[in-house]
A and B are shown apart, each in its own frame.
Chain A
Amino acid sequence: GAVVSQHPSWVICKSGTSVKIECRSLDFQATTMFWYRQFPKQSLMLMATSNEGSKATYEQGVEKDKFLINHASLTLSTLTVTSAHPEDSSFYICSARAPAGGLISGNTIYFGEGSWLTVV
């Protein structure tokens, strides 16, 4: 079964509204999670590193006030796209690294199923 779960898988929202995407680690605690964005027919680009209990680290060019990341617990990180616009329509996918010594393969990176966002 899934080790990292994302929700929702699909979301359509109106321009100007905000939408939240959740990323959960199901079988392990993840102090660090990662958020990627993939535009159609393009590669996956790292947006930010989500750190449990502290501020996220954003990659160059990613607006931190637009893409709010909250990592309030060791199993949940959320990405909120604020004031969404059609150009934010994309595939968003998260990943988490399982720590060494756990029940599942340590130091393995697991990806969520991804979330398709369409802003109309």
Chain B
Amino acid sequence: EVQLVESAGGLVKPGGSLRLSCAASGFTFDNYAMYWVRQAPGKGLEWVSAISSESRYIYYADSVQGRFTISRDNAKTSLYLQMDSLRAEDTAVYYCARRAYSGYEVDYWGQGTLVTVSS
């Protein structure tokens, strides 16, 4: 069974940093690209970042470019999102997501973790 389990989020002050992790299991992690997708309270889904299976290709949404860093450790079957210079508008549930093997859709989602940026 595919499982994606995000680390706990939390409350962070504006300008602060937080690192999210996602533990993957039930599939061959290093065969799949991975995404982070977020959802602000009461709002829609927003794609945040993507990383290819061997970390060769990395993409970011314009809203987080230069502030967030995606990475992965295939030996630990884990995905990470380092979030720096956090802003109030980064407040959201962050989902770890597996990109389908041959397309660009998400075929599996984590349960999500809430990150709140507030003073």
State whether these chains interact. Answer: no
* B residues in contact (CB < 8 Å) with A: none
